[in-house]
Chains A and B, each alone.
Chain A
């Protein structure tokens, strides 16, 4: 089968030539100086990634290059013979070429009925949102995980999943099945009707995003993705003044800082839209810092939950977070009959109705579902967690999912001990840990993150779903943090602007306040008060990796559905989903803003 005819210009059947072909048939195309370099690389044959491909976003070990080439060749032949052969495939992490081709080949080796089943081939979904023959047979929950080569009865599942709308976009607005107040319902599916404000001023330099993320892990300096909207003289001056003010604050030249803050106010007044709001919030935050009037706003958890609810409704970031995290959880729960989700920040529980609905539709029936919701103490000692738990229980009962809820009130996740959570052994119950924006606050207290990651490990989770802001707002230098935050929140506010209704709604204003509080925290707070310590995916990857976790990749099915979700709800074409080494990011135009990653414990020899 291996027809490695690289070297042999005579065209004879000379198989098994030298590894690391250099195409010697035409030496004029290979400069001799470079040939030596390639020979060395070939001879080394170590586990080193090919540098040239790494720069382009593909990780292929030099020693595997031949193998990958062979596999590409094989796949090419199969596709020539049967062009539709991979039309239902779910793809994972395209940067890992070896893994990618290998998983496609493995899929071919699966029992014949997974590919050739006439039911699977013939299905068409008549749905204006979906292209023909797209969703027909792949269970959108990713039950066909080609990496693990599970033996799934796809014939059976195709009968269930021929309308994948069950678990998809329509399931996402949990409020549909999860009774809320009237105004939320009506605001739910909002299509864009407004035009964008044309006075959108320059967006600002952003927070670090590792430039070579997909490259061979060489991240030497932070990178700063920037999207400029429209260069306006006043906009640029405004930014300049803000930066100068921050610089003055850093140098503790408070008199100058004070003067500059006032100037910012004047300049901001002549702006409009997103730029004006961002500048105002940052100016306020700088003012707080200068006068040491640190905001005392973190006390009322129910108020901040309310703000977050409005943010949830106004723009797709939280929906994306919930959706992608749920996707990872569902795939991990594919074969479990009892499941337990530990939610690090229950809040209003908006993530869970969709998951419960999806579990209800699992072929073979839903697993027993246990939810442990963690949250901070409430004013008046209200048991907010229990209220949320009750609502979810009602939903679960209505749709026939066995459900149990337990709430834990705590000021810090670091105070939770796994033994409190009644974790059952992995053979009995599959555990998922879910953290949406709950890990970064732990960085405010020394030791907290490590403690929590250890606790997570002790829970022996099948999957850990993590969503975090894609920004570095935790650098040691104030100016850096300030600059990063200015860019990040400019993009965020710009996206709110782009997708909001005109005239501005209550939702929009509360959403802005939600973000404004974050800005204040990043800029004006310090020490343990400064909880908005966002870090980038690269930074979290390092931390998770060194704590004993390895990535679980999110695939093309999750990507696609997330993209379609955005089109439905955001009503703006500025939102983008990006695949990054198995993780998914949501961004505004070319600027990534939040990242979802999934993790599992690194398998040890004993397991």
Chain B
């Protein structure tokens, strides 16, 4: 088997810059160390290995951040990122939650990836990504530190997302001039999955979400799709690890056709006729779960929902973590246009 794996490694090295390959391979190696066959997770080692960064009320490249408790009793934290308007070298504590001043300010609620088990809102890779989003969308970004599997299974992550949505929606300081908070949901990998489910809950509760941004969203199902078989082990990801994460997140005894995993599967909700937000779905052409992601897009289309698919043929997972490839810039431009269009 070693021979085939070598070939696989060489394939992945040919499609990404070397430093990207190193970054993602490093994650792959680290994550392999953390997942145990019995379904438990080496959380201590995970926290040790994860690179994190504190919030910073001193603006850096025009963005400052601070952490807030969305819910004190469950220790649900979010990191808020705001554009600095150039004047002061330091943001006064009293001004952290100063009302936004522009006519329209998009507020992007961001859910980091990590297959429901890894990373945090203060992981450096996501802190960096959120800072970028502030710049390109002229938005306030709220990155939610949701509870992770396997310690906290479905529906914890969704509940935390829902709590964050309510919190954001009720902040007067985040309201645009029309006295409404202009909310977008965004996330990568498991974060993309959370976006869908939180949006669904928002619709059911009449909270308006202006748009969903799903970057390489994590979906799946019992069936083994073509892309899973074709790309298994080739570009950093294996079917086996995907299975592990679903087993860790889904309720015990449930299979991958659970609607959390497979929203348009046999147990999924009907989305026809409801006012679901418009969606931007980014699919990497070398992502093994792309068939599920494409099914998701088709599902939205069939339900008459507005969706734009951005299919990046030669992209692998994690391409948006480093600004060293065209896909990165393409996606940032699309996100910017998406958030801007009907603001």
Binding site for B on A (CB under 8 A): 3, 5-7, 9, 20-23, 25-26, 28-31, 34, 38, 50, 52-53, 55-58, 60, 65-66, 68-69, 72-73, 75-77, 79-81, 83, 86-87, 89, 91, 94-95, 97, 101, 131-132, 134, 195-196, 198, 200, 202, 204-205, 209, 211-214, 221-231, 236, 239-240, 243, 483, 487, 556, 559-560, 563-564, 573-574, 576-579, 589-592
Does A20 contact B18, Cβ atoms closer than 8 Å?
A: yes
Q: Is the CB of A209 within 8 A of B54?
A: yes
Interface locus among B175-183, B206-214, B296-304, B319-327: B319-327
Contact yes or no, B47 A577, CB < 8 A: yes
Q: Which listed residue (A55, A483, A487) contacts B128, Cβ 8 A?
A: A55
Could you tell me if B72 and A229 are in contact, using CB atoms closer than 8 angstroms?
yes
Structural contact, A204 and B93, CB atoms closer than 8 A: yes
Say yes or no: B48 contacts A91, CB within 8 Å. yes
Which 10 residue pairs are nearest across A and B when measured between Cβ atoms?
A57-B51, A225-B54, A560-B44, A5-B10, A226-B66, A57-B124, A223-B56, A25-B14, A224-B57, A205-B93
Q: Which residues of B contact A211 (CB under 8 A)?
A: 53-54, 56, 58, 60
Judge whether A590 and B10 touch: CB under 8 Å. Answer: no
Query: Given A28, A221, A590, which contacts B54 in the complex, CB threshold below 8 Å?
Result: A590
Query: In the bound complex, do residue B14 and residue A52 qualify as a contact, i.e. CB atoms below 8 Å apart?
Result: no
- State A57–B69 Cα separation when bound (angstroms): 25
B125 within 8 A of A: yes
Task: Report yes or no: B18 in contact with A590, Cβ–Cβ below 8 A.
Answer: no
Residues in B neighbouring A56, C-beta threshold 8 A: 23, 51, 124-125, 128, 321-322
A559 CB to nearest chain B CB (Å): 4
Does B342 sit at the interface, judged by CB under 8 A? no
CA of A110 to CA of B128, assembled, Å: 39
Say yes or no: A590-B49 contact (C-beta < 8 A), given A65-B18, A573-B75.
Answer: no
Which chain A residue lies CB-closest to B79?
A: A590
Given A56-B321, A226-B55, the answer on whether A221 and B89 have CB atoms closer than 8 Å is yes
Cα distance A196–B71 in the bound complex, in angstroms:
12
With A69-B25, A560-B48: A3-B6 Cβ-Cβ less than 8 Å: yes
**Smallest CB–CB gap between A153 and chain B, Å?**
25
Residue among B10, B97, B321 making CB contact with A231, cutoff 8 Å = B97
> Which B residues lie at the A interface, using CB under 8 A?
1-2, 5-6, 9-10, 13-19, 21-23, 25-26, 28-30, 32-33, 36-38, 40, 42, 44-45, 47-49, 51-58, 60, 66-69, 72-73, 75, 77, 79, 89-94, 96-97, 122, 124-125, 128, 314-315, 321-327, 329
* Chain A residues whose C-beta falls within 8 Å of the C-beta of B44 in the assembled complex: 556, 559-560, 563-564
Query: Which residue in B29, B47, B79, B94 is a CB contact (below 8 Å) of A563?
Result: B47
8 Å CB contact of B29 from A30, A76, A195, A487: A76
Establish whether residues A3 and B28, one from each chain, have CB atoms under 8 Å apart when the complex forms: no
Known A29-B314, A56-B125, A56-B128: A77·B6 in contact at CB below 8 Å: yes
Q: Which residues of A contact B73 (CB under 8 A)?
A: 195-196, 198
Bound: A219/B104 CA distance, A: 34
Cβ B18 vs Cβ A227 within 8 A: no
A226 to B69 Cα, complex, angstroms? 11
Within the complex, the shortest CB–CB distance from B167 to chain A, in Å, comes to 11
A9 adjacent to B14 (CB under 8 Å):
yes
A57 contacts B53, C-beta separation under 8 Å: yes
Supply 13 A–B pairs (Cβ within 8 Å), ascending by A.
A21-B21, A30-B17, A50-B19, A56-B125, A56-B321, A58-B51, A72-B26, A73-B9, A77-B5, A211-B54, A227-B68, A227-B77, A243-B94
Determine the chain B residues whose CB is within 8 A of the CB of A25 once the complex forms: 14-15
Q: Are B5 and A80 in contact (CB under 8 A)?
A: yes
Q: Which residue of A is nearest B65, CB measured?
A: A226
Structural contact, A95 and B93, CB atoms closer than 8 A: no
Q: Are A58 and B42 in contact (CB under 8 A)?
A: no
Given A72-B29, A80-B5, A590-B122, answer yes or no on A243-B92 (Cβ-Cβ < 8 Å).
yes
Given the known A-B contacts A29-B325, A58-B26, A221-B89, are A95 and B51 also in contact in the complex, defined by CB atoms under 8 Å?
Answer: yes
Question: Which residue of chain B has the shortest Cβ distance to A64 in the bound complex?
Answer: B22
With A20-B18, A590-B55, A591-B54 in contact, do A72 and B25 touch (Cβ < 8 Å)? yes
Instruction: Out of B9, B37, B48, B325, name the residue touching A556 (CB < 8 Å).
Output: B48
Contact B51 A214 (CB under 8 A): yes
Distance (Å) between the CB of A468 and the closest chain B CB? Answer: 17
Q: Is the CB of A6 within 8 A of B75?
A: no
Query: Smallest distance from the beta carbon of A28 to chain B beta carbons, Å?
Result: 7
Measured between C-beta atoms, what is the minimum distance from B29 to chain A in Å? 6
- A29 contacts which of B45, B48, B326 (Cβ < 8 Å)? B326
Apart from A131-B40, A132-B36, 16 more pairs, CB < 8 Å: A21-B17, A22-B18, A26-B314, A29-B15, A30-B17, A38-B324, A57-B51, A69-B25, A76-B29, A77-B5, A87-B33, A134-B42, A205-B92, A223-B57, A236-B94, A574-B75
Q: From B316, which residue of chain A is reached at the shortest CB distance? A: A29
Which residue from chain B places its CB closest to the CB of A131 in the assembled complex?
B40
CB nearest neighbor in A for B45: A556
Contacts of B45 in A (CB 8 A): 91, 556, 560
CA of A34 to CA of B325 in the docked complex: distance in angstroms? 8
Which of A56, A80, A213, A222 has most B Cβ within 10 Å?
A56
Other-chain residue from A53, A198, A243 in contact with B93 (beta carbon distance below 8 A): A243
A576 — which chain B residues lie within 8 A by C-beta? 47
- Assembly CA distance A53 to B13 (angstroms): 17
Of residues B5, B324, B326, which shows the largest number of chain A Cβ atoms within 10 Å of its Cβ?
A: B324
Q: What is the distance, in angstroms, from B343's C-beta to the closest C-beta of chain A?
A: 26
In Å, the complex CA distance between A25 and B329 comes to 20
* A31 and B326 contact, CB distance less than 8 A: yes
Q: Which A residues touch B322, using CB under 8 A?
A: 52-53, 56
Q: Of the candidates B1, B56, B321, which one forms a contact with A80 in the assembled complex, judged by CB atoms under 8 Å apart?
A: B1
Decide: A227 near B66, CB < 8 A? Known: A21-B13, A80-B2.
yes
Residues of A with C-beta under 8 A to B321: 56
* Contact status B29-A75, CB under 8 Å: yes
Q: A79-B32, A227-B68 given as contacts; is B92 within 8 A of A58 (CB)?
A: no
